[in-house]
Amino acid sequence: MYNRNMIAYSTPPMIEPSVTFLGAAQSVTGSMHLVEIGSQRLLLDCGLFRGRREEVRQRNTHFPFDPATLDAVILSHAHIDHCGNLPNLVRQGFRGPIYCTPATRDLAALMLADTGRIHEEEADSQVTSGDADRTIDHCVPIPYEQELALSGDVQLRFLDAGHILGSAITVLTFHHAGRTHRLTFTGDLGRRGVPFLRPPTPVPAADLILCECTYGGRRHDTLETMAAKMSKVVRGTLERGGKVLIPAFSLGRTQLVLHFLQRWMRDGVLPRLPIYVDSPLAADIAAVYQRYGDAFEHLPAAGLPPVHYFRSPEEAREVSLLPEPCILVASGGMCDGGRIMPHLRLHIDDPRCSIVLVSYQAPHSLGAQLLQLRPTVRFHGRNWNKWAEVVSISGFSGHADHEDFLALLGPALGETGKICLVHGEPPQAEALATDLRKMGFADVTVPRREEHVKVA
């Protein structure tokens, strides 16, 4: 199966170990990198690309290699931009194992089933829920810190990346030309100082480190600032007799927000209000988080207020129409769809209510429109008066910020060959690259898509 977009990977007998960057290179979507070590061909992540419609179709359905020739996939975590295109890979002939942590397998099953449903609703997509199920059958769960020998003298080890439940740093060790070599892929790295999941493991030194840089050059709110901002908006809304709407992505963000809402209510930082979650996917994810209790730095303790999950939209609407104040977390982090939409329609023009944005808002999203100083917003074909209070709290990010990167990479200084920054827009990547060079890392680059880099 050859097409003109396919990169010709001829395999001479003594091929140099290398990485080819195939997605999330100078961008944040569709994470995918091809690692070649001897005769082994390993794919790091197989994320769904999102962007302009035509490019989406082209990038997601045409792999620049034959999926049948891959020996294995190594999956860093269950976010769709890292695992979402696996069903296409399987559909197009991939037959090998997908190595991931046990929690990532369980979460990927939920995430892929959910996107499978979305794909089926789009007439032009061929991916089905059946493809998602078959993909999960390929998963081979490997716990953190366990060494696994892959074929071709390659050792694989996962370390806790602290980004979402199950997220992993991948460490590959192998021999080439009489030396031991190491390749480290951070996947997405979590924050330090926001105790919920365990903190990210410092990135191990390697001949080549592939490091994400989503928030290079940026600094997130501290936990104290987050608590102060949330307290102000929740107390103000309660005094006015309104509702607090929190749009949040179902995997990662929702669990983090709920954890701190509960904790702050218990500790008196926030007034006690009913907490509702309108996202069937988040309800399923909550059950998986519960099963892996030992992944958490602070187990939910006694005295936490309850959280009620809605599965049916009707039940959610009923509560949304009640006059009592409450906190309503709903799916759709950027307000461009999801279960937040009916609540926005009901409350956007209610000056008693507030909308708390806890995610990055892409430039053309409704969330970004909400943040602009304009009296109206446009969605669902009409203009709406924007009379609800809109507040943004950046600290709920699941990603490392600039200081986190410097701290997590610091220990690798002196024993690391080169660092390639991936999963970040060029300004963020350059900001991080500049400070890593200042720290003493001699070789830091920001590879383009389809760029080919030798490991050693």
Q: Are 350 and 357 in contact (CB under 8 A)?
A: no
**For residues 238 and 422, which CB has a smaller minimum distance to Zn ion in the complex?**
422
**For residues 135 and 214, which CB has a smaller minimum distance to Zn ion in the complex?**
214
**For residues 59 and 79, which CB has a smaller minimum distance to Zn ion in the complex?**
79
Question: 252: how many CB neighbours lie within 10 A of its CB?
Answer: 27
Q: Name the minimum Å distance from CB 184 to Zn ion.
A: 17
Q: By rule CB under 5 A, what string of x and - marks binding of each residue 289-328 to Zn ion?
A: ----------------------------------------
Q: Name the minimum Å distance from CB 252 to Zn ion.
A: 7
Instruction: Kindly determine how many residues on this chain lie close enough to bind Zn ion according to the rule CB under 5 A.
Output: 2
Q: What is the largest CA-CA distance in the chain?
A: 73
**For residues 188 and 435, which CB has a smaller minimum distance to Zn ion in the complex?**
188
**For residues 24 and 171, which CB has a smaller minimum distance to Zn ion in the complex?**
24
Strand residues in 281-431 grouped as ranges (E): 307-310, 327-331, 354-357, 376-379, 382-385, 389-392, 418-422
- Chain-centroid distance of CA 323 in Å reads 35
Using the contact rule CB under 5 A, the part of the chain among 71-79, 105-113, 150-158, 418-426 near Zn ion is 71-79
b/e sequence 53-65, b meaning 16+ C-beta within 10 Å: eeebeebbeebbb
Per residue, the 3-state secondary structure of 21-67, as one string, reads EEECCCCCCCCEEEEEECCEEEEECCCCCCCCHHHHHHHHHCCCCCH
Tokens of 39: 């005769």
Query: Under the criterion CB under 5 A, does residue 188 sit at the interface with Zn ion?
Result: yes
Q: Are 296 and 263 in contact (CB under 8 A)?
A: no
Q: Name the minimum Å distance from CB 6 to Zn ion.
A: 28
Q: Name the minimum Å distance from CB 397 to Zn ion.
A: 10
**For residues 111 and 139, which CB has a smaller minimum distance to Zn ion in the complex?**
111
Using the contact rule CB under 5 A, the part of the chain among 120-128, 184-192, 232-240, 365-373 near Zn ion is 184-192
**For residues 79 and 343, which CB has a smaller minimum distance to Zn ion in the complex?**
79
Query: Measuring CA to CA, which residue among 176, 139, 170 is closest to residue 156?
Result: 170
Tokens of 258: 């709920």
Which letter does DSSP use for residue 351 in this model? T
**For residues 280 and 398, which CB has a smaller minimum distance to Zn ion in the complex?**
398
Q: Name the minimum Å distance from CB 79 to Zn ion.
A: 4
Query: According to CB under 5 A, which residues from 396 to 425 bind Zn ion?
Result: none
269 HSE (CA, 13 A, CB side):
18
Q: Name the minimum Å distance from CB 261 to Zn ion.
A: 21
Q: Name the minimum Å distance from CB 80 to Zn ion.
A: 9
Query: According to CB under 5 A, which residues from 217 to 276 bind Zn ion?
Result: none
417 HSE (CA, 13 A, CB side):
13
Q: Name the minimum Å distance from CB 431 to Zn ion.
A: 20
**For residues 189 and 455, which CB has a smaller minimum distance to Zn ion in the complex?**
189
Distance in angstroms (rounded) separating the CA atoms of residues 394 and 359: 7
**For residues 49 and 441, which CB has a smaller minimum distance to Zn ion in the complex?**
49
Query: Measuring CA to CA, which residue among 225, 223, 408 is closest to residue 298?
Result: 223
Using the contact rule CB under 5 A, the part of the chain among 74-82, 198-206, 237-245, 346-354 near Zn ion is 74-82
Q: By rule CB under 5 A, what string of x and - marks binding of each residue 126-165 to Zn ion?
A: ----------------------------------------
Q: What is the CA radius of gyration of the chain?
A: 22
**For residues 234 and 258, which CB has a smaller minimum distance to Zn ion in the complex?**
258
Q: Name the minimum Å distance from CB 247 to Zn ion.
A: 18
Alpha-helical runs (H) found in 62-101 = 80-83, 86-91
Q: Which helix (H) or strand (E) holds 169?
A: strand 168-176
Distance in angstroms (rounded) separating the CA atoms of residues 326 and 310: 14
Using the contact rule CB under 5 A, the part of the chain among 72-80, 122-130, 355-363, 430-438 near Zn ion is 72-80
Q: Name the minimum Å distance from CB 11 to Zn ion.
A: 32
Tokens of 97: 């194992």
When binding is defined by CB under 5 A, the residue of 33, 79, 119, 347 that contacts Zn ion is 79
Q: Can you count the helices (H) and strands (E) in the chain? A: 13, 22
Using the contact rule CB under 5 A, the part of the chain among 186-194, 216-224, 356-364, 383-391 near Zn ion is 186-194
Contact positions vs Zn ion (CB under 5 A): 79, 188
